[in-house]
Amino acid sequence: MAAQQQDREGGSQLAGPAAEADPLGRFTCPVCLEVYEKPVQVPCGHVFCSACLQECLKPKKPVCGVCRSALAPGVRAAELERQIESTETSCHGCRKNFFLSKIRAHVATCSKYQNYIMEGVKATTKDASLQPRNVPNRYTFPCPYCPEKNFDQEGLVEHCKLSHSTDTKSVVRGTRFCFPFYEK
């Protein structure tokens, strides 16, 4: 109810069926899928928890986890933080009401919420098509010369040029075959 009032008062809002399915989705970090904790807005406009953003900034060429644009440190999302402090929701386990800013701590200790989650896990794991598969991430690559990993295509080429251009051992030949869109 409070979230709907804030939408009418000028807060950002979701449109269409997504808003009806998850009215609190705009308060959810796309990385940890929890209610934002110390939300930070990055230059492309997306918002992350401060700690999640710090993890996303660790690669040599960080990109936004939502739109894949170049990622840079952001600014505190103070208005969103105020909305999180004043918007109420109920625990799916015990049905008690909490402000969004307190729900994360509550569900970590609520036994009824843990049961609610386990029921969802049981229902989901019955469908074999939803089981995780042992498939490598096709968007990141390890360095063939050293233990560093999680490079995007451009970042790996740059890393190899900067860090391994003087290596005598040739590991990668025919870069165009490894990266079909690579151009010198």
Residue 77: predicted pLDDT = 96
Q: 31: domain range?
A: 24-90
What's the total number of domains in the chain? Answer: 1
Q: Which two tokens stand for residue 177?
A: 């075959």
Residue 64 lies in a domain: yes
Residue 6 lies in a domain: no
Judged by DSSP in three states, 39 sits in: strand
Residue 175 lies in a domain: no
User: What's the whole-number mean pLDDT along residues 118-142?
Assistant: 68
Residue 83 lies in a domain: yes
Of 81, 14, 23, nearest in space to 50 by CA: 81
Residue 12 lies in a domain: no
Residue 135: predicted pLDDT = 59
When mean pLDDT is compared across 24-28, 106-110, 122-126, 158-162, the lowest value belongs to 122-126
